[in-house]
Amino acid sequence: MRNVKVSKLWDQLHSSYWFIPAVMAVGATALAFTMLNLDRTDKLKINYWWVYTGGSDGARSLLEAVAGSMVSVAATAFSITIVALQLAAANFGPRLLRNFMQDTGNQVVLGTFIGTFIYCLLVLRTIRGEGDGYSQFVPQLAVTVGVLLAIISIGILIYFIHHASTIIQASNVIQNVSADLHSAIERLFPEKIGRGEPEDRQGFAEIPMTFEEEALPIRANSTGYLQAIDDEELMKIACKYNLLIRLQIRPGKFVVQGSDLVLIFPGHKLNQKLVKKINNAYIIGKERTEQQDVEFPIVQLVEIALRALSPAVNDPFTAIRCIDQLRAGFCHLVQRSFPSPYRYDNNKLRVIVESVKFAELTDAAFNQIRQYGCSDVAVTSRLLEAIAAIATYTKNSKYQAVLRHHAEIILQNSREGLSQEQDRKDVEERYYQVIKNLDNDSNIKDWKSP
């Protein structure tokens, strides 16, 4: 696994609106000095028709016009971006703002305008006319590149207008969150095994009988959401001090300062240095991320669906889109192997992790949508269709029991929430399809070739 702290740093930079524009501004500065040095080289002969050949006054006026327009356009683009963020927060929820902040397109647009502005300023300061008291210097190549950057900026502006109008569309937002879900599944779960979560009875048997009595806790020194755990560092600590470490909380959960992070066995080896090292292996922040939390993109899709089902919005079609993407994600998930909670070094049990369970993920995906959409026959039917589709991708008995449980609850809620008899019959038909797929072990599909 990549270094967790490096990955977290990159995630923070990727989510900021200053990093890419700052890099592009530095690049524009380097480009300006490079072009000016080329213009000062006597050996460089430029005779192309497209190179600027005017005087110092024309060059000044040209670069001043480009620089002034870039400031205005950058301010407008920033204002449009802020409005888009406000609309996203209102329509899809504040948890989705992080996804918009990570949009590389908006960052590149702002960086292009800022970089062009800085480039023009740096070149403008070097232009000298005959009456300025210095030898005349008109950087023809640098001015030409400035004009080229202005033309590129116009193209970027056209792209930004299109991008800003599409980025806040529900279909794009849902698709992007779904891509995050599939990426998290690929990153956090091993390659396909097909039978789901392995049971490691041997690991359970290797836990010392006196673990509960002799283990001592290490408590959190801050409050926030657990974003990631450096499991490689924990393994190194366990091996170095000959410890057995049991994690008490998994990424995505809220941590209160003073709550237990891990249990250390044997407890008599606990000291302040060890406490500091363990706390440094935990990354706690203000919000959840999908870095080690596969449940987070699921919750994001659910949040979009719940807002769509609210009486103020009443948009079941958006909720159905979310259910479809949840179905695709779970069809992918049930084909992967849930990693064992027991981690070894040289056949010796060192770390016991708090791993996510399939039942927890399905509860997060279906419970709230079922509760809010119980009176909508289209949403209820699509939930059962999703469960029926997921059932065709697994023959794991535990997964099937969880899926059957959710189908039964959905059916029961529909009998209470739907007033029309025909609507209840439609839901029952889809429920029976779920049962049929769960009982048909020969109809198992492969995620990679559905």
CA dist 307 and 63 (Å) reads 49
pLDDT reported for residue 106: 87
Question: Which residue, 244, 262, 285, sits at the end of a domain?
Answer: 285
425 shares a domain with 301: yes
Tell whether the model's pLDDT for residue 43 goes beyond 80.
no
Element (DSSP H or E) covering residue 247: strand 244-247
Q: What is the mean pLDDT of the chain?
A: 86
DSSP class of residue 26 equals H
Mean pLDDT, range 101-110, rounded to an integer = 87
26 and 107 both lie in a single domain:
yes
Both 9 and 75 in a single domain?
yes
Q: Which domain holds residue 330?
A: 294-337+357-439
The two structure tokens encoding residue 279: 């706390």
Question: 88 in a domain, yes or no?
Answer: yes
> What is d(CA 33, CA 118) in angstroms, rounded to the nearest whole number?
11
Model confidence pLDDT, tens digit, residues 335-393: 988 888 888 888 888 999 888 999 999 999 999 999 999 889 999 999 999 999 999 99
SS (H, E, C) 90-138: HHHCHHHHHHHHCCHHHHHHHHHHHHHHHHHHHHHCCCECHHHCCCCEC
Considering the domain architecture, whether residues 111 and 238 belong to the same structural domain is answered as no
pLDDT > 50? residue 193: no
Q: Give the Cα separation of 250 and 258 in Å (integer).
A: 16
Crossing angle of the two packed helices 140-167 and 104-124, in degrees rounded to 10: 160
- Classify residue 342: in a domain, yes or no: no
Phi and psi for 187 in degrees, rounded to 5? -80, -35
Asked if 9 and 144 sit in the same domain, the reply is yes
Positive or negative torsion for Cα 323, 327, 328, 332: positive
Strands 348-352 and 342-345: antiparallel
| Residues facing residue 192 across a β-bridge | 336
Considering the domain architecture, whether residues 301 and 413 belong to the same structural domain is answered as: yes
Q: What pLDDT does 32 receive?
A: 95
Domain assignment present for residue 183? The answer is no
Rounded to an integer, the average pLDDT of 187-209 is 61
Whether residue 262 sits in one domain with residue 387: no
Flag whether 35 is in a domain. Answer: yes
Helices (H), 310-420: 316-333, 358-372, 377-391, 397-417
Rounded-to-integer distance, Cα 177 and Cα 296, Å: 10
Write down which residue in 223, 256, 285 finishes a domain.
Answer: 285
Task: Identify whether 82 is part of a domain.
Answer: yes
> Do 322 and 254 belong together in one domain?
no
Cβ contacts of 411-416, under 8 Å, gap ≥ 24? 411/384, 413/370, 413/371, 413/374, 413/380, 414/374, 414/377, 414/380, 416/374
Question: In this structure, is residue 328 part of a structural domain?
Answer: yes
Q: Within this chain, do residues 47 and 162 fall inside the same structural domain, yes or no?
A: yes
Residue 78 vs residue 305, higher pLDDT: 305
Q: Report how far residue 418's alpha carbon sits from residue 375's, in angstroms, rounded to the nearest whole number.
A: 5
Residue 11 pLDDT greater than 80, yes or no = no
Least confident of 9-23, 89-103, 285-299: 89-103
Average pLDDT over residues 146-172: 90
Q: 317 and 392, same structural domain?
A: yes
131 versus 128: the higher-pLDDT residue is 128
Q: Are residues 104 and 236 in the same domain?
A: no
Residue 25 tokens, joined: 């501004």
Q: Are residues 76 and 119 in the same domain?
A: yes
Q: What are phi and psi of 245, to 5 degrees?
A: -115, 125
Query: What is the DSSP track for 33-57?
Result: HHHHHHHH-TT-----TTS----HH
Q: pTM for the complete prediction?
A: 0.84
Position 196 scores a pLDDT of 37
What six digits make up the tokens of 305?
């669906």
Tokens encoding 213? 């009595």
Q: Which helix (H) or strand (E) holds 174?
A: helix 170-188
Which of 86-100, 218-232, 411-425, 436-450 has the weakest average pLDDT?
A: 436-450
DSSP 280-312: HTEEEESS--SSS-THHHHHHHHHHHHHHHSTT
Query: Could you give the CA distance from residue 27 to residue 14 in angstroms, rounded to a whole number?
Result: 18
Model confidence band, residue 197 (pLDDT cutoffs 50, 70, 90): very low
Cα first-last separation, the chain: 29
Percent of the chain whose predicted confidence (pLDDT) is above 70: 90
pLDDT score recorded for residue 168: 81
Residue 191, in any domain of the structure: no
pLDDT category of residue 198 using cuts at 50, 70 and 90? very low
CATH number (domain holding residue 237): 3.90.1170.30
- According to the model, what pLDDT value does residue 182 have? 94
Q: pLDDT value at position 450?
A: 40
Cα four-point dihedral sign 190, 329, 5, 107: positive
Per-residue pLDDT reduced to its tens digit, 396-434: 899 999 999 999 999 999 988 888 899 899 999 999 999
Q: Is 177 among the domain residues? A: no
pLDDT at 441 (0 to 100):
60
Distance (Å, whole) CA 23 – CA 2: 24
Q: Does 209 have pLDDT greater than 50?
A: yes
Among 282, 276, 273, 274, which residue's Cα sits nearest to residue 250? 282
Rounded to whole angstroms, the Cα distance separating 257 from 409 reads 37
More confident residue, 126 or 95: 126
**193 contacts: CB under 8 Å, gap ≥ 6:** 336, 337
Question: Residues with Cβ < 8 Å from 305, sequence gap 6 or more?
Answer: 318, 319, 322, 323, 369, 372, 373
> In the prediction, which pLDDT does 195 show?
37
Total domains in the fold of the chain: 3
Cβ-Cβ contacts under 8 Å for 267 (sequence gap 6 or more): 214, 215, 216
- Is residue 61 over pLDDT 60? yes
Q: Is residue 270 scored above 80 in pLDDT?
A: yes
Q: For residue 1, what pLDDT band results from cuts at 50, 70 and 90?
A: very low
